[in-house]
C-alpha cells in the first residue's frame, strides 16, 4: 500500500473519530431543550459534555490539516466549492461554543433560554451539513478539468444530499440520547432512555432510505453490488443491535453499538469513494483522486513520521480525560450558576 492510500485511510480515521465523539455531543445539544425540563436539568445535560466537546472538535482540525498537507488539491477544491456551506457550519460552531460560555453569565430565564436554543441550532446545523457534505462527495459535484468547482451553493442541496443530512442528524441524536442514558441518573436518565427508544425506529427508517437512495443516485451499486460486503452489513447489524440494547437498558453496550454504526457507516462511504476524493459529475475522468490531488512523496513521508509520534500522544490524553470524567451526573452534582 502506497503513502497516498495510507493518508486517505488516516484522513478517514480522523473523520470517523470526529463523528463518533462529536456526534454524541451534537446529539446532546439537539436534545437539551427537550429533555431539560428546568434550568438545573439543562445544566446537568451541558455538564455531561462539558469536559469533552471542545476536545472532540480537535479531530476536525486534525482532519482539515491532514487534507491540506496530504491532498492540497482536494483541500482547495473542497473548501472553495463548499465555501458557503462550510462557512455556515463554522458560524454554527462558533455560536455553539459561545452559547456554552455565555448562558451562565446571567440568571435571567430569557437569557438562558436564548443560549440554550443557540446550542440546539449550533448542534443541528453541523449535524445536517456533514451528511450533506459526504453525500455530495460520493454522488458527485460539478468539477471541471482544472479541478475547479463550477457549481453553486444550491447544487449541494440536492435531494440525495439532504437525505444524507437527515440520516446523519438522526444517528447523532440517537447517539446523544444513549450517551445521556449512560452519563445521567434519576429522572433525567429515564427521560433519555425513553427518548432513545422513540428515536431508534425513525433513525432506522431514515438511514435505510438514505442507503436505498444511494444505490440509485450514486455508483455504489456498481462498486459494492447487491451484496455490499461486511462493513455496511456490520453497520446495519450494529444499528439493529443498538435498538435491542436500548430497550433492555444496557446503556454501555448500546453506546458501543451506536458508535460502531457511525464507524462502519463512514467507512462504507469512504470505501465507496476510494480511490477518489471528490467525484466529478461532469466527467468521471475529472474526479479528484488520491494520485492527482496529493502532495509529493517526500511530504507524505515527513507527515507520516510526525503522525506516528504525535497521534498516540493525543489518543492517550483524550482517553485519559474520558476516564477521569466517566461518572454519572445528576441534579445533586450540579452547583447553582
Q: Where are the domains of the chain?
A: 3-333
pLDDT at 330 over 90: no
Average pLDDT over residues 107-123: 92
Average pLDDT over residues 159-164: 95
pLDDT at 336 over 60: no
CA distance 301 to 28: 39
pTM of the model: 0.93
pLDDT at 337 over 50: no
H helices of the chain, in order, are 3-35, 39-49, 53-56, 58-70, 72-81, 83-102, 109-139, 159-183, 187-217, 220-224, 230-247, 251-273, 297-324
Average pLDDT over residues 250-277: 94
What pLDDT band is residue 201 in, cutting at 50, 70 and 90? very high
What digits encode the pLDDT tens for the residues 51-100?
A: 888 888 889 889 999 999 999 999 999 999 999 989 999 999 999 999 99
pLDDT at 335 over 90: no
What digits encode the pLDDT tens for the residues 22-48?
A: 999 999 999 999 998 888 899 999 999
Amino acid at each position: 500500500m502506497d503513502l497516498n492510500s495510507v493518508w486517505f485511510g488516516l484522513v478517514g480515521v480522523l473523520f470517523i473519530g470526529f463523528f463518533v465523539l462529536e456526534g454524541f455531543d451534537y446529539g446532546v445539544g439537539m436534545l437539551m431543550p427537550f429533555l431539560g425540563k428546568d434550568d438545573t436539568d439543562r445544566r446537568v445535560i451541558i455538564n455531561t459534555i462539558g469536559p469533552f466537546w471542545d476536545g472532540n472538535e480537535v479531530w476536525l482540525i486534525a482532519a482539515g490539516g491532514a487534507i491540506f498537507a496530504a491532498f492540497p488539491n482536494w483541500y482547495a477544491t473542497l473548501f472553495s466549492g463548499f465555501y458557503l456551506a462550510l462557512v455556515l457550519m463554522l458560524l454554527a460552531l462558533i455560536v455553539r461554543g459561545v452559547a456554552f460560555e455565555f448562558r451562565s453569565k446571567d440568571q435571567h430565564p430569557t437569557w438562558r433560554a436564548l443560549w440554550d436554543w443557540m446550542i440546539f441550532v449550533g448542534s443541528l446545523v453541523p449535524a445536517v451539513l456533514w451528511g450533506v457534505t459526504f453525500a455530495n462527495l460520493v454522488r458527485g459535484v460539478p468539477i471541471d478539468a482544472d479541478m475547479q468547482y463550477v457549481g453553486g451553493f444550491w447544487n449541494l442541496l440536492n435531494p440525495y444530499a439532504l437525505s444524507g443530512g437527515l440520516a446523519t442528524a438522526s444517528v447523532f441524536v440517537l447517539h446523544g440520547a444513549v450517551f445521556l442514558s449512560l452519563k445521567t441518573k434519576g429522572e433525567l436518565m429515564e427521560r433519555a432512555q425513553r427518548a432513545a427508544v422513540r428515536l431508534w425506529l425513525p433513525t432506522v427508517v431514515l438511514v435505510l432510505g438514505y442507503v436505498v437512495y444511494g444505490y440509485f443516485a450514486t455508483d455504489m451499486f456498481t462498486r459494492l453490488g447487491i451484496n455490499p460486503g461486511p462493513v455496511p452489513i456490520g453497520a446495519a447489524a450494529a444499528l439493529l443491535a443498538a435498538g435491542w440494547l436500548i430497550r433492555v437498558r444496557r446503556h454501555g453496550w448500546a453506546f458501543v453499538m451506536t458508535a460502531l454504526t457511525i464507524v462502519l457507516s463512514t467507512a462504507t462511504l469512504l470505501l465507496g469513494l476510494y480511490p477518489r476524493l471528490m467525484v466529478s459529475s461532469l466527467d468521471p475522468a475529472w474526479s479528484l483522486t488520491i494520485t492527482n490531488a496529493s502532495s509529493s512523496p517526500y511530504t507524505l513521508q515527513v507527515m507520516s513520521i510526525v503522525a506516528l509520534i504525535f497521534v498516540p500522544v493525543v489518543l492517550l490524553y483524550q482517553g485519559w480525560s474520558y476516564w477521569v470524567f466517566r461518572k454519572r451526573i445528576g441534579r445533586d452534582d450540579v452547583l447553582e450558576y
